[in-house]
Amino acid sequence: MAFLTDRKRAVGWGAAKSGTEHHWAMKKSSVALLILVPFFIFTFGGALGGTYEEVLAYYSRPFPAIVAALTILVGFHHFNMGVQVLIEDYVHGVMEKILILIMTCLSYGAAAVGVFAIARIAL
C-alpha cells in the first residue's frame, strides 16, 4: 500500500469519497419526482375544493393515497440529500456531522408523519 501514488489512491473516490453514488441517487430521486409530482398534482386536484368528508373518501381510494405517500417519501429523501450537500459545502468540523444528523432525523421524521397521516386516512 505504501507504493501507491496519491492519484491511484484517489481514483474512483471523488472529493467526498462517495460523490458519484450521491450524484446518481440525486438523479434517480429527481427523475422519480419528475414523474410523481404531476401525478400528485392531478390526484390532489380531484380533491381540491371538496368538503372534509369528500377528501377523506377520495384519499381512502388506493391510487391517490399511494401517489401521495410515494411523493412524500421520495420528496423528503431528495430534500435530505440536497441539504446534506449544502451542509457539507458550507459547514465543517463537528457541527457538520451534528447538522447532518439533525436534518436526517427531521426529514425522515416528517416523511414518517406524512405517510402515517395518509395511512390513517386511507385505512
Q: Where are the domains of the chain?
A: 18-122
Q: At what angle do helices 52-59 and 94-122 cross, to 10 degrees?
A: 100
Q: Measured between alpha carbons, how far is 80 from 84 in angstroms, rounded to an integer?
A: 6
Tens of pLDDT, residue by residue over 11-55, are 766 555 677 888 899 999 999 999 999 999 999 888 899 999 999
Please write the tens of the pLDDT for every residue from 41-96: 999 888 899 999 999 999 999 999 999 999 999 999 999 999 999 999 999 999 99
**Pair 21, 14: CB distance under 8 Å:** no
Q: What pLDDT was estimated at residue 14?
A: 58
Q: Which three cell numbers stand for residue 82?
A: 440536497
* pLDDT value for 41: 95
Cell of 56: 377523506
- Please give the pLDDT value at position 12: 62
94: how many CB neighbours lie within 10 A of its CB?
8
User: Is 118 within 8 Å of 72 (Cβ atoms)?
Assistant: yes
Confidence of residue 123 (pLDDT cuts 50, 70, 90): confident
Check whether 1 has a pLDDT greater than 70. Answer: no
pLDDT value, residue 45:
87
| pLDDT reported for residue 113 | 98
Specify whether the CB–CB gap between 60 and 68 falls below 8 A.
no
Alpha helices in the chain (DSSP H): 6-10, 19-47, 52-59, 62-90, 94-122
- The yes/no answer on whether domain 18-122 falls in CATH 1.20.1300.10 is yes
